[in-house]
Amino acid sequence: MLSIKHFKLHVEDLGYPKGETVVFLNGVMASTSSWYTLMKYFVKNDFRVVLHDFKGQLRSDQPEGPYTFKEHAEETIMILKQLGIHQAHFVGTSYGGEVAMNIGFRYPEFVKSLIIIDSTSEIDMKMKKEIERWIELCKLKDGYQFFKGIAKSIYGKEYLKNNKMMMEERAKATAQVPEAYFEGQIKLYETFISDVDMTDRLKEIKAPTLVICGDQDHLKPLKCSEKIHAEIQGSEFVVLKHCGHVAIFEKPDELQTLMIGFIHKHMH
């Protein structure tokens, strides 16, 4: 745990301390463990890997919310400063991608490259209503029902169909999370609803950027990633076929190949 401002954040500092740094930024429901498969290559190949739970997430403190993406960006940079890191490649999925974009236009001097996965730079009514539904599910504080209630909006149809047993296991695992998890989730969802709009600032991002989206992403659909790609000059854009919102679980091999190639291309 690292002390940041008046609270503590769960931080993991892995790999080769003198290697190029890759910072992985979590999706809203996730924790650092969501990256363990995708980060293995980097840990084994002399990169330094930094992971953390945002405030409000599973293993970090939950100060009063709602928060802002500006705060998340600032706190991520504060972690890097404490670790003596001056530049990094940032990889973020969904909520973490939105934090990464904020870092891109607020702290450009820290950014070697950005990889933005299944994210958005603005909210529409459909998205807002879906997140409000999640808030109501959180208030029940029933992990099993919560997971069952959100699964169809984040996983692609084919993945759900082909992984029914795994989905049941994840639902049972979510049933074991502490009640405080849901309190933190509500704060993060409220942050997303009130503060995600940033399209007008994306033109400020000058770092090499790769935008990735699943073609079956119903929560933050393809048009969201297309807009991000259009606004960030020189960005690259990849669509993952037969993939929903959580590409990091649905298409880990394809995603890892894209990440490795893009980061190696922009090492210096």
Q: Report the mean per-residue pLDDT for the chain.
A: 96
Question: Which fold is adopted by the domain 2-123+196-265?
Answer: Rossmann fold (3.40.50)
Q: Which sequence spans correspond to the domains of the chain?
A: 2-123+196-265
Q: To which residue do tokens 């992971």 refer?
A: 51
Residue 115's nearest CA partner among 89, 141, 76 is: 89
Q: What digits encode the pLDDT tens for the residues 48-86?
A: 999 999 999 989 999 987 899 999 999 999 999 999 999
Residue 13's nearest CA partner among 83, 71, 97, 108 is: 83
For the segment 81-98, the average pLDDT, to the nearest whole number, is 97
Give yes or no for a contact between 255 and 240, defined as CB atoms under 8 angstroms apart: yes
Angle at 196 (CA atoms; ends 238, 218), nearest 5 degrees:
50
For the segment 99-127, the average pLDDT, to the nearest whole number, is 98
Q: What digits encode the pLDDT tens for the residues 16-34?
A: 999 999 999 999 999 999 9
The answer for residues whose C-beta is within 8 angstroms of residue 187's C-beta and 6 or more apart is 56, 62, 64, 65, 66, 67
Angle at 30 (CA atoms; ends 69, 12), nearest 5 degrees:
85
Give yes or no for a contact between 220 and 127, defined as CB atoms under 8 angstroms apart: yes
> What is the percent of the chain where pLDDT is above 90?
94
Gap between the Cα atoms of 110 and 133, Å rounded: 36
pTM of the model: 0.96
Q: What digits encode the pLDDT tens for the residues 169-197?
A: 999 999 999 999 999 999 999 999 999 99
Give yes or no for a contact between 142 and 175, defined as CB atoms under 8 angstroms apart: yes
pLDDT band at residue 124 using 50, 70 and 90 as cut-offs: very high
pLDDT at 14: 97
Angle at 234 (CA atoms; ends 20, 93), nearest 5 degrees:
55
The DSSP-derived string for 120-189 is -SS--HHHHHHHHHHHHHHHHT-HHHHHHHHHHHHS-HHHHHHTHHHHHHHHHHHTTS-HHHHHHHHHHH
Phi-psi region at 118: left, alpha or beta (left = phi > 0; alpha = psi -120 to 50):
left
For the segment 243-262, the average pLDDT, to the nearest whole number, is 96
* Token pair in block for residue 125: 């009514």
For the segment 230-240, the average pLDDT, to the nearest whole number, is 98
